[in-house]
Structure 1
Amino acid sequence: MARILVDREELVVRLRWRERAAARRGDVRVPLEAVRRVTVEPDWWRALRGDRRRGLWIPGTLCIGTRGHPGGEDFVVVRPGAPAVCVALRPGAPFRLLAVSVPDGAEATARRLRRLAPGIDSSTRAREAIPVPGES
């Protein structure tokens, strides 16, 4: 299963080789300063936003790849039975959201990311809604 790591000043979503093949891409790397908010979504399917784009989508079983919506693109690696760590990213990052199922220790992973990311928004533990075109 994919893992969320911190490598120096970068947040890395490390994919196993099968996940790389399914997503048709390598590991995802973003600067830690691009992290805006970190939340845990107990229901894996609630981490999915927008329409599927590139990747592998098996309903009720597995979702790996890129999803698009009016606010940009999300990268997800989620499966049933495990909560998803959702990392909202600032504008300018390659994705708006990273969602990764973490079977053991989702809350601990989220706490560690909140501690390591500079300038994180901790005003609420809820995820942001998808931006709607024309609204500010």
Structure 2
Amino acid sequence: MVTLLLDQTQLEIVLSPIERASTFHRHNVRIAREHITRVQLTDDAWTWLRGVPGPGTHIPGILAAGTWKGAGTTDFVLIRRRRPSVVIDLDGDEQYQRLILTTRHGLALTQALRLEVTDEPADVADIASTAPVPLPKQRQRPVIRPRPA
């Protein structure tokens, strides 16, 4: 699972040494926050793949990692098996048009992107856990009255 760090200016995808080797990236992936246009949660990230790995690692159904190039698109992909994932669409980024990541913190990421955060990078799960949680609206149950005789 990738670690996602967020501050006021950027989203950073922190890669472990194994993830660096499988994605063929020497450094963490940094995306300016202003380039993020949409974040979607998905249970099957494999359906979002477009193009071919170049450079990257692809073991069908098990691992897709690295840069994926399609017809006029370049995506950063890090998918493991069939686990919950997040799809982040970008606009204006010079390197990628989309990020597809397997992470259990997808919901926390969507919540953290809506909040004002500090200048120091923090894990998205920590940011979302400190945010106020809206309470669900109480539904009024219908009153059932007996029919008149």
Q: Check whether the contact 2:31–2:93 (CA below 8 A) recurs between aligned residues.
A: no
1:122 matched residue in structure 2: none
Letter in 2 for 1:40: L
Distance in 2, Cα, partners of 1:29 & 1:19: 15
2:40 matched residue in structure 1: 39
2:142 matched residue in structure 1: none
Number of aligned residues: 116
User: CA 1:111–1:46 in 2, change beyond 3 Å: closer, same or farther?
Assistant: farther
| Cα drift, residue 114 of structure 1 | 4.2
1:38 alignment partner, SS class: strand
1:94 alignment partner, SS class: coil
Q: Check whether the contact 1:40–1:107 (CA below 8 A) recurs between aligned residues.
A: yes
| Cα drift, residue 116 of structure 1 | 5.5
Q: Please give the per-residue CA displacement for 1:21-57, whole angstroms capped at 9, x wherever unaligned.
A: 1111121101100111111121121231222211111
Structure 2 unaligned regions, length at least 5: 118-149
Q: Check whether the contact 2:45–2:86 (CA below 8 A) recurs between aligned residues.
A: no
Distance in 1, Cα, partners of 2:57 & 2:31: 22
User: CA 1:42–1:30 in 2, change beyond 3 Å: closer, same or farther?
Assistant: same
Q: Check whether the contact 1:30–1:93 (CA below 8 A) recurs between aligned residues.
A: no
Distance in 2, Cα, partners of 1:92 & 1:13: 15
Deviates more, 1:106-115 or 1:70-79: 106-115
Provide the TM-score with structure 2 as the length reference.
0.70
Letter in 2 for 1:16: S
Distance in 2, Cα, partners of 1:35 & 1:43: 21
2:67 matched residue in structure 1: 66
User: CA 1:79–1:114 in 2, change beyond 3 Å: closer, same or farther?
Assistant: farther
Q: Check whether the contact 1:38–1:113 (CA below 8 A) recurs between aligned residues.
A: no
1:108 matched residue in structure 2: 108
Letter in 2 for 1:9: T
Between Structure 1 and Structure 2, whose CA radius of gyration is higher?
2
Letter in 2 for 1:37: R
Provide the TM-score with structure 1 as the length reference.
0.76
Distance in 2, Cα, partners of 1:99 & 1:63: 10
Distance in 1, Cα, partners of 2:31 & 2:14: 12
Distance in 1, Cα, partners of 2:105 & 2:66: 23
| Cα drift, residue 68 of structure 1 | 0.8
Identity of aligned residues (%): 32
